[in-house]
Structure 1
Amino acid sequence: MPFVNIRIVKQVIEHDREGIKAQVQTAVTDTIAKAAGIPKENVWVTFEEIDETDWFAGGQRVKELRAAP
């Protein structure tokens, strides 16, 4: 049974948290089920929302990277 854990900066989805998660999980579930030839019910998807001040890339906070021009 495939288990997918999606980590996302919570500020990216804060304007439509439930809608965006629903769209993403549907696309992920459909793709994995089709590729693996298994029922959609066998694909599990979870989300972890991480604050932009707690996520770093290249030594910088994502919050700072998102604010850069």
Structure 2
Amino acid sequence: MPFVRITIVREVLADDPSAKKASIATKVATAIAEATGLPEREISVVFDEVDARNWYVGYTDVETLRAQSQQGST
């Protein structure tokens, strides 16, 4: 039975977490089912949500990177 753990920045899901998780889980389970021939009901998907300030890319947290990106686009 495949088990998929998805770690995602919490803020990405903020405006509709349930619907977004359901959409992602459906697409992931469908892709695995198609590739393996297993039924989707045998594929588990778990979400780990991490605050942007606790997720680092290199030495900078994602919250800071997003703020910098928004400043650069305005």
| TM, length-normalised to structure 1 | 0.96
Which 4+ residue blocks in structure 1 deviate beyond 2 angstroms? none
1:9 paired to 2:9: yes
- Once residues 64 and 16 of structure 2 are traced to their aligned partners in structure 1, the CA distance between those partners, rounded to angstroms, is 22
Question: Where in structure 2 are the equivalents of 1:29-68 lying within 5 Å?
Answer: 29-68=29-68
Where does residue 18 of structure 1 map in the other structure?
18
More helix by share: 2
Gaps of at least 5 residues in structure 1 are none
- CA deviations on 1:39-59 (whole Å, 9 max, x unpaired) are 111100000000011100021
Gaps of at least 5 residues in structure 2 are none
Q: Shift of residue 60 of structure 1?
A: 0.4
| TM, length-normalised to structure 2 | 0.90
Q: How many residues align?
A: 69
- Once residues 12 and 31 of structure 2 are traced to their aligned partners in structure 1, the CA distance between those partners, rounded to angstroms, is 23
Aligned-pair identity in percent equals 41
